[in-house]
Structure 1
Amino acid sequence: MNKCRLLLLLFGLSFSGCKHIEPSVEEPTVVITGSLSQPVKSDVVLPPAAYQPGLLGLHRPDDTTTTRLVAWGGSLMAGYRDGGLYREGQLTCIPALIAHQMRLASFVSPLFDPAVGNGTGYLVYDQTDPLPSWKRVSNQTGVISTNPLVLSKYNGPMPDNLALPYGVGAKPADSARVDYTYPAQRNYYAYLNRLFPTNQPERYDLITRLMDARQIHLLLYEPDFDIYVGVAINPELVSDRLSRYTGSGTIFYAFQKDVLDSQNLGRKVVMYNRPDLMDFPYFHLYDAKKLQAMNITSGVVLADSALLIPNDKIKQAFAQKGALPIVLEDKDVLSKQEVKLFQLNAFMNYDYSLPYLSKVTGNTPIVDLYSLYKRVINRQYTTEDGLFIDPSFPNGNFFSQDGLYPSAIGSAVIANETIKVINQAYKTSIPLINVREYASLLP
């Protein structure tokens, strides 16, 4: 009998597997229930900014050059959503929305061409399955190879959005390293290599060169969101990687150097702190209390406050299919202690680490994602134009279909919070996005 097992691979939520054949000819119990063919979404036409922004606060007194915005970070800034990176997400990513409100002459993202606009493919929540599951859009993608991951080349102008999925944890100076913090981080290089011209040898200092090659007035710097998502959805890594990563003064001072180097070049910088990942819908799709009550598992002992990873084994347990008892492993469960560790880590980042980094870098402004997400999760956030931001999943409007990264509307909310910080810190007058109007224009 062939065993079926689809492994949930971080961020991308990419799955692969083989048919599980049983005498009853039942369909396998898996969290990716099939493929979908979807047309590439049409490019979003953003509503015009309400008024001409004032951007002089981003310039030195003698600087009359055109304002340039650059983003550096990982999936959050790249526009990764629905378990993939695709054209619509790139066009409506946080920095692109901010650039639109700034009425910049140009803000270049390394877009997938329309013909392969579904990018890496993406997930659609399967509303027909009684248990949490997804289907994967797999047509018109830019995926040339899956093992190793190779993506279609970007051949446009030098990009201003230098955020790449799984990226900043693999820092520019360390791009040739092989010590990955979490498995999918190795896919960073597939996104990095998209930016090389076809006739140019691979150069692992590409991001550093692109950062140094132009004048930058405003830098959006999101340092480590991907690291924590990557470790959280691989619980077997938590005890080693979370303590090792967060306890590293070397990494903290590397962030400090990044910010100081940019400021010394006259750039204005905005940083982002980290939300409490344990609030994200992804970790609440399957209820540990219900699984406890079913009394059909062995292995890792469940506590009421444990969180379950939505993978094939957990779905099989809830469906009560396969050999019983179902043996739970570390990779299937975030234990009570691990949940507390993540919550404490996020709070320390909010309460101490980033404020300290801000202080030692000249009071660099911080976009407070920790508090923003708490307000959204607690159903206490309404936009200035009156749109209620709904955290529910899968039918709310803040989280994308992967339950981890923000939707197009969620990205607009974060973009507006960023604009507020920029305006206050640098005395600019950038109009907020009309999120209600923007939402009405999404495909």
Structure 2
Amino acid sequence: MKKNKLYIGAALALLAIASCKPSLDEYTPSAGSVNFSKYVAIGNSLTAGYADGGLYLEGQKVAYPNLIAEQLKQVGGGEFKSPFFSEDQANGSGYITLTALVNGQPITAQVTDKLAYRSASPKLLTKYTDPINNLGVPGMRMDLSMVAGMGSPAGNMYFERLLPDADAKKTYFTYSTTQNHTFFSFALGNNDALGWATNGGVVNINPTTNQPDPTTVLTETAQFTAILNGYVQALTQGDRKGVLATIPDVTATPYFTTVTKAALLGAVNAASKGNFQDIFIKTKTGVRKSTDKDYFILTLSSAGVFGQNGTGLYEGIPLDDKWVLDESEVTTVQTRINEYNAAIKAAANSKGLALADVHEFLNNVKDGVRINGLAVSAKYITGNAFSLDGIHLTPIGNALMANIFISAINSKYGSKIPQVDVAKYRGVKLPDTVTK
């Protein structure tokens, strides 16, 4: 009996010790206060999975809404359909690929096989008119979302692809707000500033009609705000929930930070054995020397313009305005984006919606951070986040973007949606051999 008491006492002591051990709360996914059964994603090229200067199957598959939707399946999310290109047309619109690095400089090539064009003139992609959840349309803008005919052969080929011919006059606003969703993400408006900025702050004029090219116009804040509020009103009918995304600072992307004054002068001096110290640029107020506050666009380095017949090297032959976003234009576009984002934040607050602050995140990573041990920055090719076009995201970038949205949703609605494992995705695909 005494021995049995000892055994019982020992067992109780072990039980007491075990009960005092610290324990970690298990993360049990839950939807919180949201019905995720039909999630739709509204936006432009970033939403669609556009990358490397084109829309193609691999990029579509890792578009951030697709990654979000995969995580939502753990909290009641339903099937999420995307307008994927078929395997035999997997290269879609075509895109650029990195073939070599020569003396640290990228050599790229255009992918031209397995394309998805059904017409060369006008360029039209193979139709995909089945119901979808990823409504992202490359090139779509807030202002153009209200324009009838954007889905016609004369409009946006990516939107035209999604519409039956009978719906060619339907606006993107109508198309994207009538999907019978239960939850939405909204990331439209980036192109309202980006088109102007990537064109060096220049509005192109159609020589035939003498009208401005709408894709290069900087949308007025009042117009932007009115359309945004109309979207939010339509999307939240019936107390439906969603998440709005702020617009990134365009100057936080490699498209504007890669080609520097020092690099341009270094290359031209090495080639000409010269000693040029300045670059002359044409601005809206006249010709002047460039400074470190001016941003040369990414495509300048491959365009063969700078230094050609002295272009940019002499005051009398300045570099054209379209090749540089000068200091004044930088201020203009950053101010406008801040105004857009103020409107987005106000719209989210007015309806109690989640806010994914993409602007803040990309500004934080511009100079480089480590996320879960992964180095991320705005460096071209090696920064992991941005694809070869310097604007759109790599698979890693899309995974990071998805997590910004997921964090915002969890914070606002009390959900417990698991984060995407960023380590599963790649950055820029490097060539098998690198020439030094």
Q: Report if aligned partners of 2:143, 2:227 keep a CA contact under 8 Å in 1.
A: no
- The alpha carbon displacement at 1:310 in A equals 3.3
Aligned-residue RMSD, C-alpha:
3.3
Choose from 101, 112, 116 the match for 1:138. Answer: 112
**Identical columns (%):** 25
What's the CA shift string for 1:239-262, capped at 9, x where partnerless? 998997453413311101210222
What SS is found at the alignment partner of 1:135?
A: strand
Shift of 1:146: 4.3
Output the amino acid matched with 1:54: S
Alignment of 1:40-439 (within 5 A): 53-55=29-31, 57-59=33-35, 67-103=37-73, 104-129=77-102, 131=105, 134-155=108-129, 157-176=130-149, 189-197=156-164, 200-205=165-170, 207-208=172-173, 210-211=175-176, 213-237=178-202, 245-289=218-262, 291=264, 294=276, 300=282, 301-304=288-291, 305-311=293-299, 315-316=303-304, 320=307, 322-326=308-312, 327=317, 328-350=319-341, 352-359=342-349, 361-383=350-372, 386-439=373-426
Asked if the contact 2:122/2:153 (under 8 Å) is kept, the reply is no
Cα deviation, 1:420-440, whole Å, max 9, x if unaligned, reads 111111222111111113449
Letter in 2 for 1:408: P
Q: Is the 8 A contact 1:93 1:411 kept in 2?
A: yes
- Cα offset for 1:98? 0.4
Equivalent residue, structure 1, for 2:23: none
Task: Give the Å deviation of 1:71.
Answer: 0.6
Contact residue 403 and residue 420 of structure 2 kept, 8 A: yes
Q: What's the offset of the Cα at 1:204?
A: 2.4
User: Residues of 1 paired with 2:177 and 2:346: CA distance?
Assistant: 26
The residue matched to 1:140 in structure 2 has which SS? coil
Quickly say closer, same or farther: Cα 1:132–1:74, change in 2 above 3 A. same
2: CA distance, partners of 1:260 / 1:209? 13
CA 1:203–1:317 in 2, change beyond 3 Å: closer, same or farther? closer
Give the superposition deviation at 1:219: 0.8
> 5+ unaligned residues in a row in structure 2: which ranges?
1-25, 205-211, 266-274, 283-287, 431-436
Q: Larger Cα Rg: Structure 1 or Structure 2? A: 2
Q: Give a deviation string over 1:84-118, Cα, whole Å, max 9, x none.
A: 11111111101110000011331011111111011
SS in structure 1 of the partner of residue 236 of structure 2: helix
The 1:136–1:174 alpha-carbon spacing in structure 2 relative to 1, beyond 3 Å, is same
Structure-2 change in CA distance of 1:369 and 1:381 (3 Å) = farther
- Residue type of the partner of 2:110? R
Shift of 1:57: 1.6
The 2-side partners of 1:392 and 1:299 are apart by: 24
CA distance in 1, matches of 2:281, 2:233: 48
The 3 A distance-change label for structure 1 pair 399 and 314 is closer
C-alpha distance 99-201 of structure 1, shift in aligned 2 (>3 A)? same
Please state how far the C-alpha of 1:324 moved relative to its aligned partner: 2.5
Residues 116-174 of structure 1 show CA distances to partners (whole Å, capped at 9, x for unaligned) of: 0111111124534555553211110112344422111115x301111100113354431
- Separation of aligned partners in 2, 1:425 and 1:77: 21
Evaluate the alpha carbon distance shift between residue 298 and residue 245 of structure 1 in structure 2; reply closer, same or farther with a 3 A threshold: closer
Q: What amino acid maps onto 1:354 in structure 2?
A: I
Shift of 1:303: 1.9
